[in-house]
Structure 1
Amino acid sequence: MSLRHWLLSLLVSAVCAGQTLPAASQSAPFDLGPEQPGRIRAEADPAAIARLPKGTRFVAPGALTVAITPGGPPLGTYATDARTVIGADPDFAQLVADSLGLRLALVPVAWADWPLGLASGKYDAVISNVGVTEQRKEKFDFSTYRQGLHGFFVRADSKIETIREPRDAAGLTISVGGGTNQERILVEWSRQNVAAGLKPIDLQLFDDEAARLVALRSGRADAVVQPHAQLVFVAARDRDIRRVGTLSAGWPLKSDVAIATRRGSGLVDALTHATNDLIANGKYRQMLARWGLEEEALPRSETNPPGLPKY
């Protein structure tokens, strides 16, 4: 979601709820300014640098060129100047570049364009909420850095306390995006509930976030489920919904988010080592906390772990 679409979503939600749109300074729970004075920085990591192959050539000398899709806060979006890319993924890219003793060069790209751009050498890496899959591993190497999670959120005054497994959702009406991975998971949850003699899940399918949130806030839905990070931002911004559970985006399998590099480029070992040192020294968690994403922290980074299978 772009900053423009986020502002439109905020306006729609406010109008539908009969609220006055808050001032910009009040509506942003995180720093969306271009200066980013609170960005976490790291020192050069000699052990990670030593893992770079001798003679490694970067797209731009002295820089780590990273592609990112500014899809929406808090992962990646445009700042209030409509030019600067900010968010948790840019912050992590900065930490990795610092660790390798390089400056960071961010390249905003459309999501559909990153695989070809990375394979053709337009940038050194992609840090943009890319999940590890077996199909992607045929062309790319991966260093994991965050859990891929969906979040269950309810109204702040809801009596629902926990949704973590199928039986917790039995009989509930849940707002979800049509044709999404979340819908696939909940359809299977509902099937399991019925097989166990429990009530099915009533799915309300919507194409956009604003409609899903209106359904929740109006009481037509008991809960909403979509990518966790998006709802963390909404909850912090509007303060009228709260999290009651998370699940892996690849349920029933694990689905981690990773730095993607060209397969065989030689960067993956250095990036995994740098990430693990950032986890160990606390910079990683500080970065996640800055954007409210501590729930998505990994205990350690892995190189090319098992990914989601081909469907």
Structure 2
Amino acid sequence: MILRRAMLSFILGASVAAGLVPAALRAQDKFDFSPEQPGRIRAGTNPDAIKAIPQSFKFAEPGVLTVGISPGGPPLGAYATDTRTVVGADPDFAQLIADSLGLKLNLVAIAWADWPLGLTSGKYDAVISNVGVTEQRKEKFDFSTYRLGLHGFFVRTDSKIAAIKEPADAAGLRIILGPGTNQERILLEWNKQNVAAGLKPLELHYFDDEASRLLALASGRADVIVQPHAQLVFFAARDQNLKKVGTLSAGWPLKSDVAITTKKGNGLVDALTLATNTLIGNGKYRQSLARWGIEAEAVALSETNPPGLPRL
């Protein structure tokens, strides 16, 4: 119950702190947070994917795809208005996969830290919760990629900044980010490159909480905010005072993929990759992402256990 109340506070809190009380209502004009989800995209069964499930594989519950998901915030996964049902882009994708395999879907809300143990113990069949592929994780888990891991560069709607694609584009800008984040790692490297090239350094502004970051940008104390792309898409729809000027791989300079995660060696991964590629091919996949405004994170092809981010 505490987690559910926290999620409702997450949806409303930053708006209230920034003096934007009606903002969450505007987000509902774009995103559906009802438990019924009448607009959720559905798929038919995929006979080839079903055949790819090993006969020896035992689902956590017969006839059901049990998926662990951490409702960390919209638009990827959050509690609906009933404070019980998990909705968002990841639940939508989980439904498409369950449909493809001819199974019912059971979403199990979990704390992020609990997914590895729950998956290895067989409590759920898969995790669909923004899990990135890393070489370390590949030692214990199999992956079927389904989204790009992206950070976003967002500015105020009245900003004259048109695009940020490379380090030089950010030279001299006042950039908001969280301390100790992946974004900080990347931007510190960008700053080194700019200084070495004789360009103005980046001016990094650190804020611990979401509301303070958004308020700093809205008040003009900084030029750009950088954090996970999907989060900023939601904030832009909710507050209507942000616009996107660029994206950045979360694994920069390497590619970073988000994947369906399964227990290593249980054989389910091939069926999941096949199902995902069929959904990509028939357009259901992109329609599902579009419901939550994150088409920019679409992959062109699902891969089984691609190269992951190296150990740091």
Shared topology, TM-score over 0.5?
Answer: yes
Aligned position for 1:182: 183
Displacement of 1:4 after TM fit? 2.1
Displacement of 1:27 after TM fit? 4.1
- 8 Å contact from structure 2 (residues 42, 96) kept in 1: yes
- 8 Å contact from structure 1 (residues 48, 100) kept in 2: yes
Partner letter of residue 120 of structure 1?
S
Aligned position for 1:172: 173
Aligned equivalents of 2:191 and 2:7: distance in 1?
33
Aligned position for 1:85: 86
Displacement of 1:23 after TM fit? 7.3
Q: Does 1:34 align with 2:40?
A: no
Displacement of 1:5 after TM fit? 2.0
Matches within 5 A, 1:97-112: 97-112=98-113
CA deviations 1:217-268 (Å, max 9, x no partner) are 1111100000000000011111110000000000000000000000001100
Displacement of 1:93 after TM fit? 0.2
**Which residue of 4, 7, 31 corresponds with 1:2?**
7
Aligned position for 1:45: 46
CA RMSD of aligned residues (A): 1.0
Could you tell me the percent identity over the aligned residues?
A: 71
Aligned equivalents of 1:268 and 1:292: distance in 2?
27
Aligned position for 1:286: 287
Tell me the TM-score normalized by structure 1.
0.97
Q: Secondary structure at the match of 1:284?
A: helix
Aligned residues between the structures: 306
Aligned position for 2:3: none
Partner letter of residue 102 of structure 2?
G
Aligned position for 1:250: 251
Aligned equivalents of 2:133 and 2:26: distance in 1?
37
CA deviations 1:11-48 (Å, max 9, x no partner) are 1122xxxx5x1175434230011110000000000011
Q: Does 1:54 align with 2:59?
A: no
Where does structure 2 lack aligned partners over 5 or more consecutive residues?
1-5
Q: Does 1:228 align with 2:229?
A: yes
Displacement of 1:131 after TM fit? 0.1
Q: Does 1:306 align with 2:311?
A: no
Q: Does 1:240 align with 2:241?
A: yes
Aligned equivalents of 1:5 and 1:146: distance in 2?
24
Aligned position for 2:122: 121
Displacement of 1:3 after TM fit? 2.5
Aligned equivalents of 1:24 and 1:116: distance in 2?
35
CA deviations 1:59-79 (Å, max 9, x no partner) are 000000000000000000000
Q: Secondary structure at the match of 1:305?
A: coil
Q: Secondary structure at the match of 1:2?
A: helix
Matches within 5 A, 1:135-146: 135-146=136-147
Aligned position for 1:11: 16
- 8 Å contact from structure 1 (residues 70, 85) kept in 2: yes
Tell me the TM-score normalized by structure 2.
0.96
Aligned equivalents of 1:244 and 1:173: distance in 2?
15
Aligned equivalents of 2:14 and 2:210: distance in 1?
7
Q: CA, structure 1 residues 290+27, in 2 after alignment: closer, same or farther (shift >3 Å)?
A: closer
Partner letter of residue 86 of structure 1?
V
Aligned equivalents of 1:56 and 1:49: distance in 2?
12
Displacement of 1:55 after TM fit? 3.4
Partner letter of residue 50 of structure 2?
I
Runs of 4+ in 1 over 6 A off after TM superposition: none
Partner letter of residue 22 of structure 1?
P
- 8 Å contact from structure 1 (residues 3, 72) kept in 2: no
Q: Secondary structure at the match of 2:246?
A: strand
- 8 Å contact from structure 2 (residues 14, 211) kept in 1: yes
Aligned position for 1:68: 69
Aligned equivalents of 1:54 and 1:5: distance in 2?
43
Partner letter of residue 18 of structure 2?
S
Partner letter of residue 307 of structure 2?
P
Partner letter of residue 171 of structure 1?
G
